Structure 1
Amino acid sequence: METAVEDIAERWVAAWTASRTSDLFRLLAAGPAIESNLDPDGDFIEILTDYAAALDSVTVFSRTVIDRRVSLVYDCTLGGETFRLAEFLFVDDSGLIREIRRVYDLYAVERLIPSLLLGSS
């Protein structure tokens, strides 16, 4: 089971970092639970792909898989500055992502990508 969950996580990372919207939707279960500290009422996929497009690079710093849960910590780089993003996924029995929790470094986003905060409350 862990290998299948790892594969889903790798496909998720590849899709969002390349802003491949159709691939993202294929990996999501219907009506996934999504929590984010960046514009929680906005369009999650749009924000996700806009964030990826704004960055110079994204690498996985740490990945932990326990049963069907995956925690990912990313190093995001923009303009020579590196900052972190944490993401937590739950993959259901059908191999789709049922839950996503994302924690952005809002201080870095505010300084480096303020356009992403325009829709935030």
Structure 2
Amino acid sequence: METAVEDIAERWVAAWTHGRTSDLFRLLAAAPLIESNLDPDGDFIEILTDYAASLDAVTVFSQTVIDGRVALVYNCTLGAETFRLAEFLVVDEVGLVTEVRRVYDLDAVERLLPDLLLGSS
């Protein structure tokens, strides 16, 4: 199952970093558990794609897959600064993402991408 989960993780990363919302919806289960420290009441998919579009680059720094769980750490680059984003996915037996937990570097977001924080007060 790890290979299938790795494939789902790769497709997930490609979808959100390239703003392919239809691919994100195809990968998400019907009622996924979503947790984030950036605007938890906002539109998750919109925040994902806006975040990616605001950056110069996003690369996977580290990926760990154990059973149906994936831990990803990203390097996010904007201008001369690189900062981190951590993401945790749970993939079910049919290959759908049932849980997404994201931990943004809120200090970096506040300094470099303050428009993303407007809806999170």
TM-score bracket for this pair, using the shorter chain length: over 0.9
Deviation at 1:16, TM superposition (A): 0.3
Aligned-partner Cα distance in 2 for 1:80–1:53: 17
TM-score, normalization: structure 2? 0.99
Aligned-partner Cα distance in 1 for 2:16–2:47: 10
Aligned-partner Cα distance in 2 for 1:31–1:90: 13
Counterpart of 1:35 in 2: which secondary structure? strand
Q: Over residues 11-41 of structure 1, what are the superposed CA-to-partner deviations in whole Å (9 max), with x where a residue is unaligned?
A: 0000000010000000000010000000000
Counterpart of 1:118 in 2: which secondary structure? helix
Name the % identity: 83
1:75 matched residue in structure 2: 75
Q: Over residues 25-77 of structure 1, what are the superposed CA-to-partner deviations in whole Å (9 max), with x where a residue is unaligned?
A: 00000010000000000000000000000000000000000000000000000
Structure 1 outlier segments of 4+, above 6 Å: none
Q: Is 1:26 matched up with 2:26?
A: yes
TM-score, normalization: structure 1? 0.99
Which residues in structure 2 correspond to 1:33-48 (within 5 Å)?
33-48=33-48
Deviation at 1:94, TM superposition (A): 1.2
Which residues in structure 2 correspond to 1:1-121 (within 5 Å)?
1-121=1-121
Unaligned residue ranges in structure 1 (runs of 5+): none
Deviation at 1:79, TM superposition (A): 1.0
Q: RMSD over aligned Cα, in angstroms?
A: 0.4
Aligned-partner Cα distance in 1 for 2:48–2:62: 19
Counterpart of 1:19 in 2: which secondary structure? coil
